[in-house]
Amino acid sequence: MSEKIARGTVRTTRSDVLLASAGGRGVLCGIYDEDAADTYHDLMQDADGTAEAREFADRIRPESGPVLELAAGTGRLTFPLLELGHTVTALELSAAMLDILRKRLENEPPDVRDRCTVVQGDMTAFALDERFETVVVSSGSVNVLDDAGRPGLYASVRENLAPGGRFLLAVAVAEAVKSESTERQQELSGLSGRRYVLHARMSPVEEIHEITIYPADETADPFVVCTNRIRLLKVDQVVRELEQAGFDVVSRTPFASAGQGSEDVLLLEALPRVAGS
């Protein structure tokens, strides 16, 4: 096989089959990598985080200062938070995602742009100059971290929270956690009009959700195959991990939008336990 593979990219059962037939045209990349940026942006451009941002904003005190958003991606949640009047520090690991976020910010009026600070960083190990009263993580983002990465996230959040601050974490209650192993495939249309195939494999036994996205046109050159592996996490497990990391989970609230065709999401509100309490 002579396909190009970006470092650190996960292979999926589907990507192996696809790349075997694409030969030299095949490019395998992680969904958040540079080679996938076009595909990601084409498919995600109109993904609207407004409803999710409102769920967070309901729990952010207006006077609480800048909000730290972790794993901000291309800003699906960042822009609605800015629109709601918050000042946001958006931390993200992928340079490709950050490029898109920065370009989007350039198109915003100065009063919005000036309220956003963009930081390239690893949410499992970060130390910023400022302490935040609110740290938020969008739904799906904690799932990108493996068992070794999540403790680093919780420890870094504790370190970067101001006294009395809160950690707001949206956790998807993946259906597959409750059911058997499944595979499904669907065609998607990008905003550019390009067609893609999304193949998803959920394996509760392996506790993973594998995603493979590739061109519907089998002759595409390059034939870019984007992959991602998400951990299927039970909410109770995340709550337990937070408690072990020294947080008290003071509320778990279902998103108001839950049950309307999208997956169910719970918003966890966690406060660092104060020594001696």
Ligand X SMILES: C[S@@+](CC[C@H](N)C(=O)[O-])C[C@H]1O[C@@H](n2cnc3c(N)ncnc32)[C@H](O)[C@@H]1O
Residues interacting with ligand X, by CB under 6 A?
Answer: 32, 49, 71-73, 76-77, 92-94, 97, 122-124, 138, 140-141, 144
Q: Minimum distance between the CB of residue 97 and ligand X, rounded to whole angstroms? A: 4
Q: State which residue, 49 or 272, has the beta carbon closest to ligand X.
A: 49
Q: State which residue, 22 or 49, has the beta carbon closest to ligand X.
A: 49
Q: State which residue, 39 or 141, has the beta carbon closest to ligand X.
A: 141
Is-contact 79 49, C-beta < 8 A? yes
Name beta bridge partners: 163: none
Q: State which residue, 22 or 71, has the beta carbon closest to ligand X.
A: 71
Residue showing the smallest CB distance to ligand X in the complex: 73
Three-class secondary structure of residue 255 per DSSP: coil
Q: Minimum distance between the CB of residue 23 and ligand X, rounded to whole angstroms? A: 29
Q: State which residue, 76 or 201, has the beta carbon closest to ligand X.
A: 76
Regarding beta strands 208-215 and 223-231, do their DSSP bridges make them parallel or antiparallel, or are they unpaired? antiparallel
Q: Which residues contact 67 (CB under 8 A, 6 or more apart)?
A: 56, 60, 81, 86, 87, 88, 89, 132, 134, 135, 136
Q: Minimum distance between the CB of residue 68 and ligand X, rounded to whole angstroms? A: 12
Residues 245, 266, 140, 73, Cα dihedral to 10°? -90
Regarding beta strands 182-189 and 161-173, do their DSSP bridges make them parallel or antiparallel, or are they unpaired? unpaired
Q: Minimum distance between the CB of residue 24 and ligand X, rounded to whole angstroms? A: 28
Q: Minimum distance between the CB of residue 48 and ligand X, rounded to whole angstroms? A: 10
Q: C-alpha distances in angstroms, 173 versus 58, 64, 124, 219?
A: 21, 29, 22, 37
- Sign of the CA dihedral 201, 204, 206, 208? positive
Q: State which residue, 99 or 220, has the beta carbon closest to ligand X.
A: 99
Q: Minimum distance between the CB of residue 217 and ligand X, rounded to whole angstroms? A: 26
Determine the residue type at 150.
R
Is-contact 89 65, C-beta < 8 A? no
Q: Minimum distance between the CB of residue 32 and ligand X, rounded to whole angstroms? A: 3
